Structure 1
Amino acid sequence: MPDWLPPTLIAAAFVLAALLLLLALRGRGADQMARLGAMMEGLAAAQDRLARQNEERLRDQERSLAARLDQAAARAQDSAGAIQQRLAVIDAARANMEALGSQVGALAAVLGNKQARGALGEVQLRDLVADRLPASGYAWQHTLSNGTRCDCLIHLPFPPGPIAVDSKFPLEAWTALQEAAEPAARTLATRRFVQDIRRHVADISQKYLIAGETAEAALLFLPSEAVHATLHASHGDLVAEAARRGVHIVGPSTLWAVLNTMRGLLRDARLQDEARRIRHEVEALGEETERLERRIAALRGHFSSVQQDLREIELTAEKIVRRGAAIRALDIPDPPAARAAE
């Protein structure tokens, strides 16, 4: 029902009441008064029905509104829970970002210090070598006969011989090369980068290549795939020059492959050494077997001689037994003196 209908009915009731009064004043008939009274009663009944319907509809609307409010509260509570979970995730991510930022800052501080950066390269080198080679196949901070000390010496048999590995990290020159925006600055950074690598190659070639003591080649380990990739991609002539001087430049992935090859060489050398030891033991076992055969032959000769002596002893014993039996078989009378004594 429209909201404007009950006031209209009330207004109509007042109009009818006014008409009734006017008719009464004018002295009209009783039948008209009765009809007007019936109309007023009908309007009052209709108004009561409309009031009850309005109350029922208001209660329905209140119940519907309450249900909607409950649903909205439940949705709001769920949304608040989801928002709280997302806030918890955001807080955890923020904490991780802060921890990562502190770690990045610590890493930047480490990389900014040359000694700490060198230690980081040595640690990475240690992890790679210790992961792929047995403990007896390498030595750390090994001092060579010329007094120099390399980061790692891998004990390969001749040929090729022990291989020295030295870790270098030319971070400043590479960083300047990556950050250079102008051609002039990039040229200067490239020249500095090439000079640093060439100086490291010269040091390794002069210090760690000793005839008769080490192999004819050594390894320059760059503990950064980015630096290694930049060097091989843009400065292949420098890599070839280093190889001609007996220095092979490797990164983490290439060093891992090289160490796998060295692991196979060490395994083959160990198998050959064990084969030589087995051969030596077999030869010694053959000598002992020959010595045992000689002694068995000598013992067999002694045993044959003993058997011959036993046969001769048995023959002599048989002869003695036969002679004793023959003596017992002789009937020799007693002498006269023996009979007189009886």
Structure 2
Amino acid sequence: MNDLSTILSEPVARLGASTITLGHALAFGALLFLGLFVALVVALWRSAKARAVAAAEAADHARDAEARMAGILQSQAEMQGRMGAIAEVFGARQAELTQSIGQRLDAMTGRIGQTMTEQTKSTHESLAKLQERLAIIDVAQGNIQSLAGQVVQLQAILSAIIDVAQGNIQSLAGQVVQLQAILSNKQTRGAFGQSRMEAIVADGLPHGAYEFQATLSNGSRPDCLVKMPNGAPSLAIDAKFPLEAWNAIRAADGADLQKVAAQAFRRDIEIHVRDISEKYLIQGETQDTAFMFVPSESVFAEIHENFEAIVHKAHRARVVIVSPSLLMLSIQVIQAILKDARMREQAHLIQGEVIRLMEDVARVDERVRKLQVHFGQSAKDIDDILVSTSKVTKRGQKIEALEFGAQPDGDAGPDGASRAPAAKADAGPRVADSKTGQLRLRVVEGDD
């Protein structure tokens, strides 16, 4: 023990007046080691705490990410439901369009068949009368061949119309698949509404009766300008598709959100109506009424069902809101007006053709009557010739009979008298053997 104390008391270093022993050095080293150990423990504790805080923050971030992912999945499910509803609506519209086209084609086929039947019946009756009176078969055959050619051409036209309709239906089915991408973009949605309006107008009106993106005197450019006949002002049509506000109405859950979305929808429609009324209603240049085309039947139904005030306001502003079906009906009415105007313009030509046709018929009737007179005169001449030949034949037979009765026998007695009747009796069978004489004698006897 004393040796250990001696060793620890030995001086190791000197700092000024202080002497540093081995014990002091060992004590300082122990204190230094303890301080380093405490610092290491504190560092490890802080590192563990930082890792715990980082783990907690990572868990919070994970929970936030899960919540966002759940929201995204819910939005995706809602979007799929909406797209399913849109697909069902367009499927129903496609079925209605197919049914409407089929009904119109059936009605057109029935009318054309009835018209062709009536024309065929009238033609056959006319041909039968001409055959009975004139026996002119070549003219009837020519008419029948011409009618058969027209029937073949008509069948070809109907087949072409049916093929075009089927192609349009298949094209519409393909376009429904692309509807989601079209409606998601505002510019493509506007182009979709305008293209649908242009398709309806181009299918219903002849070329030259309308103009797309025409510039008015005030610099405005409506989507379509329908030219009316007889110098009347043109009809302006503009396509609008307020889909975003309508989708907001459909997606609103509470009453407050529904009210806000309805106000936004009403505001958008009123802005569209005001723009059309201010830009496209020009006195003397356009009609006093313009069309606002909504390319969706569901949006049109929503406007008339829940926003009747907007409809009345549009009427007061002389703007008519139309759906695809109403625009198609309006185009058909305009088509009938244009057709009537063209018919009135061509009325004098039709009258001239009818007059020339009546002149041809009159000449045919005159020639037929002359031919009938010739036939009657020929028949009368033949009858006169038959009477003359019958008389000549009768006289020749009488002369022949007299020659047989006056033949001398050489006896003037009773035997001679008995031979004369026998000769007459023999003369009778000879006359009967002459077929021509018998035929002529019968004719003479009938005349007597």
TM-score by length of 1: 0.49
Higher relative contact order (Cα pairs below 8 Å, separated by 6+ residues) = 1
Larger Rg: 1
TM-score by length of 2: 0.38
